[in-house]
Structure 1
């Protein structure tokens, strides 16, 4: 399936880095574009053309980073009442906002690292909530620039490692990043889950006391 898609895009699209960048920018408008799918497909394209390895990686990183910034500002503008998009507003429930605010306060940068590797809307919820709860923009830029670099590079090099055309250098990079990621991710996710569980337990207790 992946090979078929790669063959189609390489045959019909003249410059892939520009395409993957554009797709990721569309994701910043809350359109259903999968960041992971774009990275995987991009890595597959570079296996057939080594000259695209660096330009594609740069395009992916910039597309992801700029898209995240766009989502942050969507959340900020929503908090100020400048937009009233019901579909977006549904993602920012009161419990989610309070949980994100508390998690950012407790874990800060580590929250960004963990959530970058959790798909199905978790990332966008965090970026949007960061803007909504007023996380300083400079801090968001710092956190997200590093987290995006880690996640994009890890998945990109991992797919290239799996591909038959991957060089020894990329195989080494892929292995090191992937092993480090798994160790760090397992460690952090345990702490986040414990914190979320305690948060909702406290919320339930408060609701019962109020009743």
Structure 2
């Protein structure tokens, strides 16, 4: 009976995960399919369309849209901001996550710091809009890529810190200790030992 109950729980968990994945991917599917539909069929009665079965996909919409300079500039701006903020959040999150995973602080516990970082994800963005605007205005960064990069990095950094901390805690620390004994600094251990070990993950 216990084995049957475990099997039922496992099957229900798999079904729930599949449902969540389909639910999350469905809007993306609609956006992609809508972009490759012929314009005459964009507002067709059929809400869910299957390429090659219900219509012939085309890249004409993409080609025509990318001919406009405003759209090209918007796409380029999005790529610059998203890529830069992702790399910056990953870099800073790796440093903070490694410190929380390996070092002990005297004034505050590592677990409390981790909870504090995680709690920043709950903070509504509207709370920091006015302070952020005033800071960007003071440093004359309004309407710049850097302002957006800093904003996205600020909200993505707590998540990156928590994820990287957990990953670094799972790495064996014997190799790091051996590198320290050989005279390597903590920054050297991080960049020469820890990052290569964590890169495949």
TM-score by length of 1: 0.24
TM-score by length of 2: 0.25
| Larger Rg over CA atoms | 2
